[in-house]
Amino acid sequence: MKKYLILVFVVCSCLVSAQKYVPFPPENAEWNQVLYMSSEYALTSPPRDLKNYSLGSDTILDTIRYTRLILNHNNTIGFLREANKKIYYIGAGYTNTGASYSPGQLQKIKNCSPSFLKSTGQEYLLYDFNVKTGDTIYWGMYGQNIIDKVDSVKIDGSYRKQYHMKWGSDIVIEGIGSAFRGLLNSVSPLPMCGAITWWDQVCFSQNGKTLFMNPAFKDCNSTIKWSDRNYLAKNTEWYYGKTIYFGMAVPPAKTDDYYYLKSTGDTIVGGKNCHVINQFRGGPACYSYQFPVFMYQSNDTLYFYNSVSKKFSILNVYAANRGDSWITAYPQGDVVVTVDSVGSVPAFGETLKLQYVTYTYNQTFKYNSKIIENIGDFYYLFASNIIYLGLCDEMADYPGLRCYIHPDYGTYKTGTVACDYVSEVANLDFKSIKVYLSSTGNLIIDSELQGGSYTFELFDVRGSRLLSVPMSTAKSAIAFGDYSKGLYLYRLLDNGKMLKSGKIVKM
């Protein structure tokens, strides 16, 4: 299996001097970029315009051979040439075509921005791949910058030099150009009269194959960013089904229950802006994670805070494809996650990626599951339960995600069962079991069950056991006045087999 590269780049400075130069521009090359343009300042984000730049036929201008630069497959907007590892350009920048402005708006911008059409008709040095660390550069029509560092990036099996800019947080790559600001960034003047204009590189392709992808974007052919939607926002909820079996009958008695997790707020942990995920219903004494869990998402990757190592670990990599893998470092141990295949599911007006994965623990135990892009694992948000699943004191099936509820996007539901459905015990030998708070503040366990060896257990929402009371009959009153207000979880066991579970809310 191959390891998935979270940072897209693999940097190796030792190969800089020995690698073969990649010429520019290459044949059959395409750059997809997003242009953000608005005619006036606005409180909302400006519209996004996906633009495709490709190479056309050669032409002669003043006895010099150039290659045409084509916008959206049908409009020549400029000309490129290379000489001695220097890339020169004649033509319009992103904004100079005026395609996104009305004639009146375009004239207004021209009047207050004399440089708006400056680049057209004049040859500029677009890139120079002879520069070294510390060199001052004057590329395009703007002011100076400094080469902060030169190293290498592995692209399509071979290494290319990449040049880190000191100002602007950009990187320029041999044979591609600007990695994040786009091919024509340095020759695209900014209007100075209220217009909102900037641009991002989305991807670079050659011969129909994507060689470089800006990790901020979800795919090569759209303007959608991973950050456009916050799938961990406060009040987001996850409901997972659970079917518990008990008793000696054939078939055994069973009851339907569920796990319930919720994003309850935001906080800063280790310098990261995190969402606080709590579990309010689950298997607290068996294999639950230590809650709350602090999580954040960066581009395509979801991270959580490991409470033992005190470091963040990868949980899901949504951009990973077949054969890719990553390691999730749970407090209980490391789990290797391998993507076996991919599919898709419709949700919230989008088509979300579906990854069919195998979890491997301790090199031997394997567990198959599914991960829904931005929603998480289908069977449990934190797949750490695969480590201790065999130690649980109950026989259970885990049907998977019932509902994912987002306060802004709506509900994604996988079946017909209500999100919080819980059935009573199905074995007719057992009478009804009621657990409730009395008016006097006592916790009442009331049942018609005959004598036996019963145990009542009480937990807080983090899964810590607060109380374990043995009972000779499934009927008792427990003083509850000293407990603080809040939500509690309980289980009633008969000789270690669970009869009932539920929640108690003390007001």
pLDDT tens across 427-454, in order? 334 445 777 788 777 888 877 676 777 8
426 within a domain of the structure (yes/no): no
Whether residues 373 and 501 fall in one domain: no
Whether residues 114 and 215 fall in one domain: yes
306 within a domain of the structure (yes/no): yes
pLDDT at 335: 93
pTM: predicted TM-score of the whole model, two decimal places: 0.71
For the segment 466-471, the average pLDDT, to the nearest whole number, is 84
Q: From 197, 226, 255, give the residue that closes a domain.
A: 226
Distance, CA of 19 to chain centre: 34
Other C-beta atoms within 10 Å of 116: how many? Answer: 23
pLDDT tens across 94-109, in order? 766 555 566 676 677 6
Q: From 413, 447, 471, give the residue that closes a domain.
A: 413
Whether residues 104 and 243 fall in one domain: no
In whole angstroms, what is the distance from residue 179 CA to residue 136 CA? 19
Whether residues 222 and 255 fall in one domain: no
Question: What is the extent of the structural domain holding 384?
Answer: 237-413
DSSP string, 57-108: EEEEETTEEEEEEEETTTEEEEEEEEETTEEEEEE--SSTT-TTS-HHHHHH
Whether residues 207 and 245 fall in one domain: no
Whether residues 207 and 297 fall in one domain: no
In whole angstroms, what is the distance from residue 437 CA to residue 338 CA? 47
pLDDT tens across 346-391, in order? 999 889 999 999 999 888 888 899 999 999 999 988 877 666 544 3
Whether residues 29 and 157 fall in one domain: yes
In the chain, the number of structural domains is 3
| pLDDT of 419 strictly over 80 | yes
498 within a domain of the structure (yes/no): yes
Helix (H, G, I), strand (E, B) or coil at 476: strand
Q: What percent of the chain has pLDDT over 70?
A: 79
Whether residues 487 and 375 fall in one domain: no
Whether residues 45 and 177 fall in one domain: yes
423 within a domain of the structure (yes/no): no
Tokens of 459: 């937990």
Q: From 179, 194, 226, give the residue that closes a domain.
A: 226
CATH number at residue 492: 2.60.40.3080
pLDDT tens across 9-48, in order? 444 544 445 578 999 887 899 999 998 876 655 445 667 8
419 within a domain of the structure (yes/no): no
Q: Kindly indicate the confidence band of residue 209, based on its pLDDT and cuts at 50, 70 and 90.
A: very high
25 within a domain of the structure (yes/no): yes
In whole angstroms, what is the distance from residue 63 CA to residue 412 CA? 62
Whether residues 48 and 185 fall in one domain: yes
Q: Kindly indicate the confidence band of residue 114, based on its pLDDT and cuts at 50, 70 and 90.
A: low
427 within a domain of the structure (yes/no): no
Whether residues 213 and 253 fall in one domain: no
Q: In this structure, are residues 126 and 119 in contact, taking their beta carbons and an 8 Å threshold?
A: no
Whether residues 323 and 285 fall in one domain: yes
Q: Which of 196-200, 299-303, 430-434, 435-439 is modeled with the greatest confidence?
A: 299-303
425 within a domain of the structure (yes/no): no
